[in-house]
């Protein structure tokens, strides 16, 4: 259909069906009507007799959720029966509260599920049959309720069987890079949802929707502010504002964290130094932290970016990261607070491959951090590139708590114009074998403590949420938020399982919709890697806004240029990180270093990350490196086009609003993929001086034209204030 007609139809459809507009606002908590009559009557029966053991704010949240679910799925309101167990069908309560009803086996099983786990299943008591959802704490029951509602929405609920689950990682956290003026660093979905100006008086209903969405996927921690921090967030006025959010989120099991600017003692404390060993500085942080807990008694703690990209830190005073982190950790410890210190540290003043700098800083400090410190490590050593090998810090330290940092917002992966499902990338990292501390260790095993034995465990994701009506800009950005929550809960889940869950909750049960969208999602990450940075290329995007290709970026700080990373010349291309180059490979376990040092053994997807190779180096296909680079770029474009045509095959089955939204963005994605391919290949050809292989579509355009493009209004850039 041609575009104007399509848009007309869309607006017509929206006017008629306005009340059920599919604008993405409801996320995966859509609660669409149940069509199957017997399933509907089963749910109707359970909701007609909901019994809570006791009262607490989380049960209030559950009550509201059941009302919304009943309303959406059955057009009915649940009946809550209090004090009348005999009138109940659905029981909700803690193991302790329900101990009388539970057999010993069930009790022990639930106890093992820890603080956040749940058990749900059939129970028989005094001859009557019930369905029960039980946890050790109210929040466990909340998670059980969400899981149960999801099973109904995705048509997998079976009243006769029991199911239990518990998270493998303790702190499952969103990091907002939100500034106090509501701009969002690397945010592509509008402004920050935190309306600091109107807080504490005005509570935006979005705060509640946000908390529901997070709780429904197990997220239990949020850091509200940008890691490039503003000290003002630690002033009394802002604490009062943050308190409102913390109070709202508490019944959902979510704790609030804030970013702490290392120089805050000077900026808001009137001191002349921020030296972590200075008694006045220590007293400042202690007092500040005590004050914070007077407002937010369960405040989670601080997240700190120090001595990186111009942020202040302990190095200014000749102190190391452990001295900086421990001082803050000591202020938090009496309140059981956690200090999260980022390992994303590098400096252009140090003459060392950026890849190596975090390990150089943190390995010597192993064992020196307090127990309540977690070092938050990005998945790779450079910076959330479309594909990175896992960060060599995973496995390199024995006595340090390490947490994972993923980026949900798609800074380097198409921002909000591209459909790129990130779960396969995260899965690849989590499943990577580190060979340390044990030969079978994986990244997942280190961060969940099973291999590392660490008790304090964390997975953080840089949020992609903003004020856009659909929260994430691109509808499929929601899938990345969802996938992050699911993988933080269980880092061993496959991206396929997660995609299926999300599709069913978002688009319903139709098999063709499911299989088509699943294929689109599962091929999308590899496609993006192919048309952006195939075979281990990295950091060749546009300067500053990071939008689109910029392999020619040079000048200024070397480690912010593309030339630093691809090192293309007439001989070849790639970054030699073997022993003949920067030796970054030596930071990995010897089994990895040995295999990856050999260009014929390293997985080809990482080839140019670690090797500088001649243009006619032969790959396993028998083709030359140059030809393979060209073929990968071309393949990426073709997959993007296929994603679009597959999506279009669903036109008659998807509501026009979401169909058109995604379709328009896929058209942009195809153009952007072509742009990446053309610009990169034309640029690299100036060095390779070789023709493009016959079988690919010949890159068109003029390199100077691509170089001349500028994007002064690109979103998400760091504000200059």
CA distances from 373 to 129, 299, 336, 456, 462 (A): 47, 15, 11, 9, 19
The rounded distance, in Å, linking the Cα atoms of 454 and 399 is 8
- Closest separation between CB of residue 383 and ligand BDP, Å? 5
Q: Does 544 bind ligand BDP (CB under 6 A)?
A: no
Nearer to ligand BDP, 118 or 302 (CB): 302
Catalytic residue among 147, 185, 383, 663: 383
- Closest separation between CB of residue 69 and ligand BDP, Å? 38
Catalytic residue among 109, 115, 204, 309: 309
Q: Does 388 bind ligand BDP (CB under 6 A)?
A: no
Nearer to ligand BDP, 185 or 634 (CB): 185
| Residue labelled with tokens 């002033």 | 235
Q: Which of 170, 305, 321, 644 binds ligand BDP (CB under 6 A)?
A: 305
Nearer to ligand BDP, 88 or 462 (CB): 462
Q: Which of 116, 361, 411, 604 binds ligand BDP (CB under 6 A)?
A: 411
CA distances from 26 to 66, 148, 212, 662 (A): 15, 18, 10, 17
Q: Going edge to edge, which strands form the sheet with 90-94?
A: 79-80, 48-52, 90-94, 128-135, 118-125, 163-165
Q: Does 186 bind ligand BDP (CB under 6 A)?
A: yes
- Are 463 and 225 within 8 A, CB to CB? no
Nearer to ligand BDP, 255 or 342 (CB): 342
- Closest separation between CB of residue 302 and ligand BDP, Å? 15
Contacts with 682 (C-beta within 8 Å, 6 or more apart), sequence order: 699, 701, 702, 703, 706
Distance of CA 368 to the CA centre of its chain: 29
Assign 377 to helix, strand or coil.
strand
Q: Which of 102, 149, 227, 296 binds ligand BDP (CB under 6 A)?
A: 227
Nearer to ligand BDP, 369 or 384 (CB): 384
| Residue 165 annotated as catalytic | no
CA distances from 387 to 185, 487, 605, 608 (A): 21, 18, 8, 12
Closest CA to 178 of 409, 6, 351: 409
Catalytic residue among 185, 411, 427, 523: 411
Q: Does 502 bind ligand BDP (CB under 6 A)?
A: no
Nearer to ligand BDP, 300 or 716 (CB): 716
Q: Does 718 bind ligand BDP (CB under 6 A)?
A: yes
Nearer to ligand BDP, 187 or 656 (CB): 187
- From residue 348 to residue 387, what is the string marking binding to ligand BDP with x (rule CB under 6 A)? -----------------------------------xx---
Residue 250 has φ and ψ, to the nearest 5°, of: -55, -50
Beta-bridge partners for 404? 377, 459
Residues in the interface with ligand BDP (CB under 6 A) total: 11
DSSP 380-440: SSSSS-SS-PPPTTTTT-SSS-EEEEEE-S-TTTTTTTS----HHHHHHHHT-B---SSTT
- Closest separation between CB of residue 544 and ligand BDP, Å? 9
Q: Does 228 bind ligand BDP (CB under 6 A)?
A: yes
- Per-residue H/E/C for 136-178: CCHHHHHHHHHHHHHHHHCCCCCCCCCEEECCCCCEEEEECCE
Contacts with 358 (C-beta within 8 Å, 6 or more apart), sequence order: 343, 344, 345, 346, 377, 381, 391, 393
Nearer to ligand BDP, 186 or 288 (CB): 186
Q: Which of 31, 284, 344, 609 binds ligand BDP (CB under 6 A)?
A: 344
**Residue 11 tokens, joined:** 């607006």
Nearer to ligand BDP, 355 or 661 (CB): 355
- Closest separation between CB of residue 584 and ligand BDP, Å? 19
- Closest separation between CB of residue 171 and ligand BDP, Å? 18
Closest CA to 568 of 612, 626, 606, 604: 612
The rounded distance, in Å, linking the Cα atoms of 458 and 375 is 9
- Closest separation between CB of residue 135 and ligand BDP, Å? 35
- Closest separation between CB of residue 295 and ligand BDP, Å? 27
Which position's Cβ is nearest ligand BDP? 383
Q: Which of 185, 448, 451, 526 binds ligand BDP (CB under 6 A)?
A: 185
Look at the alpha carbons of 310, 313, 314, 320 in this order and tell me if their dihedral is positive or negative. negative
Burial of 450 (0-12, 13-18, 19+ CB in 10 A): middle
Nearer to ligand BDP, 529 or 585 (CB): 529
- Closest separation between CB of residue 226 and ligand BDP, Å? 8
In the chain, the N- to C-terminal Cα span, in Å, equals 47
- Closest separation between CB of residue 172 and ligand BDP, Å? 19
- Rounded (to 5) percent helix, strand, coil in the chain: 45, 10, 45
| Residue 309 annotated as catalytic | yes
Q: Does 262 bind ligand BDP (CB under 6 A)?
A: no
Binding positions for ligand BDP, rule: CB under 6 A: 185-186, 227-228, 305, 309, 344, 383-384, 411, 718
Give catalytic residue positions: 309, 383, 411
């Amino acid at each position: 259909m041609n575009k104007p007609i399509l848009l007309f139809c869309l607006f017509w459809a929206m006017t008629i069906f306005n009340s059920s507009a599919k604008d993405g606002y409801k996320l995966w908590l859509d609660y669409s009507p149940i069509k199957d009559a017997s399933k509907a009557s089963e749910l109707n029966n359970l909701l007609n007799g909901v019994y809570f053991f006791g009262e607490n704010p989380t049960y209030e949240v559950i009550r509201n959720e059941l009302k919304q679910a009943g309303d959406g799925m059955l057009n009915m309101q649940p009946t809550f029966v209090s004090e009348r167990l005999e009138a109940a069908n659905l029981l909700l309560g803690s193991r302790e509260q329900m101990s009388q009803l539970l057999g010993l086996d069930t009790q022990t099983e639930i106890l093992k599920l820890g603080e956040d786990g749940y058990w749900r299943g059939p129970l028989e008591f005094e001859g009557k049959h019930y369905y029960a959802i039980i946890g050790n704490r109210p929040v466990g029951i909340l998670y059980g309720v969400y899981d149960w509602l999801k099973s109904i929405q995705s048509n997998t609920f079976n009243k006769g069987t029991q199911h239990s689950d518990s998270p493998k990682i303790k702190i499952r956290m969103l990091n907002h890079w939100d500034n106090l003026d509501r701009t969002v660093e690397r945010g592509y979905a509008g402004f920050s949802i935190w309306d600091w100006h109107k807080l504490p008086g005005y509570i935006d209903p979005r705060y509640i929707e946000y908390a529901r969405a997070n709780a429904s996927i197990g997220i239990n921690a949020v850091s509200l502010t940008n890691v490039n921090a503003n000290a003002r967030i630690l002033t009394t006025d802002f604490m009062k504002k943050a308190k409102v959010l913390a109070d709202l989120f508490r019944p959902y099991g979510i704790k609030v964290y804030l970013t702490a600017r290392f120089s805050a003692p000077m900026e808001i404390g009137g001191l002349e130094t921020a030296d972590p060993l200075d008694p006045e500085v220590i007293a400042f942080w202690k007092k500040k932290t005590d004050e914070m807990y007077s407002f937010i008694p369960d405040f989670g703690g601080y997240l700190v970016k120090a001595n990186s990209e111009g942020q202040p830190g302990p190095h200014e005073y000749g102190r190391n990261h452990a001295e900086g982190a421990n001082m803050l950790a000591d202020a938090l410890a009496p309140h059981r607070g956690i200090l999260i210190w980022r390992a994303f540290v590098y400096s252009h003043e140090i003459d060392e491959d950026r890849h190596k700098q975090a390990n150089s800083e943190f390995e010597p400090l192993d064992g020196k951090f307090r127990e309540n410190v977690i070092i938050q490590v990005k998945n790779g050593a450079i910076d959330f590139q479309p594909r990175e090998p896992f960060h060599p810090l995973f496995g390199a330290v024995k006595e340090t708590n390490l947490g994972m940092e993923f980026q949900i917002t798609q800074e380097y992966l198409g921002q909000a114009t591209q459909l790129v499902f990130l779960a396969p990338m995260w899965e690849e990292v989590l499943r990577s074998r580190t060979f340390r501390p044990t030969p079978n260790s994986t990244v997942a095993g280190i961060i969940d403590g099973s291999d590392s034995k660490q008790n304090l465990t964390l997975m953080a994701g840089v949020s992609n949420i903003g004020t856009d009506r659909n929260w994430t800009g691109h509808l499929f950005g929601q899938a990345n938020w969802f996938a992050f929550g699911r993988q933080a809960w269980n880092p061993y889940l496959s991206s396929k399982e997660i995609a299926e869950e999300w599709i069913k909750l978002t688009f319903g049960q139709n098999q063709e919709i499911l299989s088509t969208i699943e294929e689109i999602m599962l091929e999308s990450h590899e496609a993006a890697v192919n048309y952006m940075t195939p075979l281990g290329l990295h950091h060749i995007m546009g300067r500053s806004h990071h939008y689109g290709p910029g392999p020619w970026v040079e000048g200024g700080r070397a480690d912010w240029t593309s030339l630093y990373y691809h090192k293309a010349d007439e001989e070849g291309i790639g970054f030699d990180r073997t022993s003949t180059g920067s030796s970054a490979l030596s930071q990995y376990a010897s089994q990895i270093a040995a295999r990856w040092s050999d260009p014929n053994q390293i997985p080809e997807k990482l080839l140019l990350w670690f090797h500088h190779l001649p243009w006619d180096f032969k790959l396993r296909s028998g083709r030359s490196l140059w030809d393979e680079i060209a073929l990968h770029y071309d393949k990426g474009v073709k997959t993007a086009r296929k994603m679009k045509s597959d999506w279009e095959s669903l036109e008659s089955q998807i509501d026009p609003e979401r169909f058109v939204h995604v379709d328009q963005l896929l058209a942009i994605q195809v153009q952007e993929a072509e742009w990446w391919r053309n610009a990169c290949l034309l640029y690299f050809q100036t060095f390779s001086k070789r023709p493009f292989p016959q079988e690919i579509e010949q890159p068109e355009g003029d390199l100077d034209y691509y170089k001349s493009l500028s994007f002064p209004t690109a979103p998400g850039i760091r504000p200059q204030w």
